[in-house]
Amino acid sequence: MYVKEVAVVNQVGLHARPATFFTQKANEFKASVWVEKDERRADAKSLLAILSLDVWREDTVLVIAEGSDETQAVDALVALVASGFSERG
């Protein structure tokens, strides 16, 4: 299992468009991937699960993966979140 913490920096958090990008990226990996906020864990490959976490700007989340490419999955998703999903503002 591989885990990293990341702060959400984009304007709207993990909602709608950014959450879609996040789940698409998570689905590129074989590993099981989760996002955790306030001790609530959601499947990172499920858009509805991600939206249910209610992640907003300046929230901190854990990205957790377990499987053959767990390190690559977590690092890629943390980089995506840290980049602000390439949004400005």
**DSSP string of 21-79, one letter each residue:** HHHHHHTTSSSEEEEEETTEEEETT-HHHHHHT---TT-EEEEEEESTTHHHHHHHHHH
22 is catalytic: no
pLDDT of 89: 38
Which residue among 9, 11, 15, 72 is the active-site one?
15
Q: What is the mean pLDDT of the chain?
A: 94
pLDDT of 87: 57
**Domain coordinates in residue numbering, the chain:** 2-86
- Domain 2-86 in CATH: superfamily? HPr-like (3.30.1340.10)
pLDDT of 86: 73
Q: Tens digit of pLDDT for each residue in 27-54?
A: 999 999 999 999 999 999 999 999 999 9
